[in-house]
Amino acid sequence: MDLQRLFRRFLGRNKEQHFEDDEQYQDLIIGDEILTGVRECSQRFEAMKPLLDRYQRTFTTLDIGANMGYFSFRIAKEYPAVAVMIESRSNDGLLARACDLNRANVVWLRCRITAEELEKLAKVEHFDVLLVMNFLHHLGDKWRLAWEAALRMADHVLVETPTDVGACGQQYLSEINTEVERNASHILGTFARHTGKGHSMLYHIVSESQKKLIRPYWVLPKDKAFRDSRVMGQHDLRINSNFSEKALIHGDRGQQPPWVPGINSMTYRALGGAYPRAETIRTWASKLPSGPDMNLWNLILSGDGLSVIDQHGNHESLLWDYLP
């Protein structure tokens, strides 16, 4: 099925309407159909599978610059996983429709994320597997800030970055590749560039950073009521994780509750959450049991529901004021 027919079939567009981009970069998955893009995806996913196969529990991935969501949709369909995507596409109607039709356990954050925001993300979230696929060179001289954040926010980081002269950010490519190679644990494969010029390597990095959260959740500047020392200060929230189990260790309580896969709902709110849709989240929230601290920061969001955490406080419920 050609691109325009697929576009019309799933979005109801007529034949005179086209994509804003002439090039479909990544393979597009809708149901059992795959529309091939200019960048080969299936071989890259096969190279990732030996790592993903090792998980004996539900795990969470983050794909930064997810494009058409190929890797996230496949992970969510083939594994017990919550796949989080960050993608800012202007022609997002197709990605939104794909989220609906694939019915996969995915979360889509619609934003053009900055290095500074990635640094904040590393303070409040932790992922099992992080995909950084041809992304760093788009950040200019802020790439290192994003790279250091990536190493802190995940156990395993999968990185591909270009080497060819057709890529943007030429002045940073050598430095980026040197840093990635220095940290790499394994090379998962070598793949042709979609530009037709040269190859790039897919690296697997096992993060050596101490696993911890610096803050319990993401606070926006407008959230003045919560910009106090309890939230904004340093926190002793350590993480114990491996392929079979994951727990959050509250140093001040001596508790080790099991980690709930997904992301904090405050992160979804801060980074332009687009899927699951707002009306769906509100429906899920209306069916939650009551508790002493039912607030947005105590709700973990996945692609198929909300989970309640940390009901040890006794705070006024502002859930409905903060829901998307």
Burial of 105 (0-12, 13-18, 19+ CB in 10 A): buried
Would you say 64 and 113 are in contact if contact means Cβ atoms under 8 Å apart?
Answer: yes
Is the N-terminal amide bond of 276 cis, ω within 30° of 0? yes
**What pLDDT, on a 0 to 100 scale, did the predictor assign at position 90?**
55
Would you say 158 and 129 are in contact if contact means Cβ atoms under 8 Å apart?
Answer: yes
**What pLDDT, on a 0 to 100 scale, did the predictor assign at position 68?**
86
Q: What is the DSSP letter of 32?
A: T
Among positive and negative, which fits the CA dihedral 66, 282, 128, 207?
positive
Radius of gyration of the chain (CA): 20
Question: So where are the chain's domains?
Answer: 38-276
What 3-state DSSP class applies to 104?
A: coil
How many DSSP H helices and E strands does the chain contain?
Answer: 11, 16
How would you write the pLDDT of the chain (324 residues) with one tens digit per residue? 444 455 445 544 433 343 444 456 677 787 777 777 667 889 999 999 999 999 999 999 999 999 889 999 999 999 999 999 999 875 557 788 788 888 789 999 999 999 999 999 999 999 999 999 988 888 889 999 999 999 999 999 999 987 765 666 578 888 988 999 999 999 998 887 655 566 788 999 999 877 889 888 888 766 654 544 455 455 678 999 999 999 988 876 666 788 999 999 999 999 999 999 999 999 998 888 887 778 888 899 999 999 998 876 666 566 666 676
Give the span between the Cα atoms of 107 and 180, in whole angstroms.
27
The token pair that represents 305 in the structure block: 């529901």
Instruction: Please provide the CATH number assigned to the domain covering 38-276.
Output: 3.40.50.150
**What pLDDT, on a 0 to 100 scale, did the predictor assign at position 58?**
97
To which residue do tokens 């969001």 refer? 301
